[in-house]
Amino acid sequence: VETASVGSFTVTFAGTSLFVIYLPIAYCYDKLKLAWRMKSSGTSTYEGLSSLHEHKNQLLDYRTIKAALVLMPLWFGANFFYNSSLCNTSVGASTILSGTSASFTLLIGSFLGIEVVNKYNVSGVIVCLVGIILIGLDASSEGTDADTGTCTKSNSVLGDFYALVSAFFYALYALWVRYAFPDGDKSVRMEILFGYVGFFSILFLGPVFVLLLLTKLEDPSSLTPQIILFIIGNGLINNVLSD
């Protein structure tokens, strides 16, 4: 992808939009689960239809859809700026700076009253920062030329700035999920939430992607079938499966 000069927007847009496959998967899973339950327990058709209606309500839950609408730009921003940082600074430096998201989460969360500052939270952030420092020292001792990537520019300051912005967006993403669903998985089905993140990515960022291709800000010639397959595979593994 680097050698083909594929832009960060394309890679991030593809990875985020692929989350949409969670919606049909969730729907089919619910139907299969319901059918198996009816078959094994002898549930009546009326009760089965009632349960199916309940599952449809979960897929169309207003609270989940509203949360996904806010979450989409935060998720996209975090990944877009991280991918952009990789093309301007070393992978090691980008990883180190992106790791500061825990500090941003605690600072912003405590300011907004979402996170409670206690010795455990502070200790966790300190341990995280110590780890980041150790990684930085190790990377600096080995040199950064080996992990810079072929698309790296000379503007490492800009790359470091992108990595910090990415960490900031990651913190906002984590805090928003914590704020929208204080009970965690008990109050939301995460696969449906991320499914709508993918849906809103296609809905709102799809036209932007087409515009970038038409204006040649994203090079259409770089999107060969091989590169497209690689981008989709990368999105499925690094986004859909891992998250």
Are 20 and 14 in contact by the 8 Å Cβ rule? The answer is: no
Name the 3-class secondary structure at 152.
Answer: coil
Residue 195 has pLDDT above 90, yes or no: yes
192: pLDDT confidence band, cut at 50, 70 and 90? Answer: very high
Residue with tokens 């090079």: 219
Q: The pTM is what?
A: 0.80
Query: 36-86: per-residue pLDDT in tens?
Result: 877 776 655 555 555 555 556 678 889 999 999 999 999 999 999 988 888
| DSSP calls for 90-130 | -HHHHHHHHTTHHHHHHHHHHHHTSS---HHHHHHHHHHHH
Higher pLDDT: 212 or 3? It is 212
Written as one letter, the residue type at 172 is L
Q: Answer whether 197's CB lies under 8 Å from 75's CB.
A: yes
- Determine the Cα–Cα distance for residues 89 and 84; give it in Å rounded to an integer: 9
Q: What is the mean pLDDT of residues 204-230?
A: 91
Residue-level pLDDT at 150: 46
* Distance between CA atoms of residues 68 and 71, nearest Å: 5
Rg (CA), the chain: 21
Query: What is the C-alpha to C-alpha distance for residues 243 and 240, in angstroms, rounded to an integer?
Result: 6
DSSP code at position 12: H
Answer yes or no: is pLDDT of 88 > 60: yes
The yes-or-no verdict on residue 163 having pLDDT over 80 is: yes
User: Is residue 89's pLDDT more than 90?
Assistant: no
Least confident of 77-86, 104-113, 139-148: 139-148
Q: Token pair for residue 132? A: 């980041």
Task: Report the C-alpha dihedral over residues 65, 70, 72, 78, rounded to 10 degrees.
Answer: -150
Residue 28, Cα to own-chain centre: how many angstroms? 24
Asked if the model's pLDDT at residue 227 lies above 60, the reply is: yes
Q: How would residue 135 be classed by pLDDT, with cut points 50, 70 and 90?
A: low
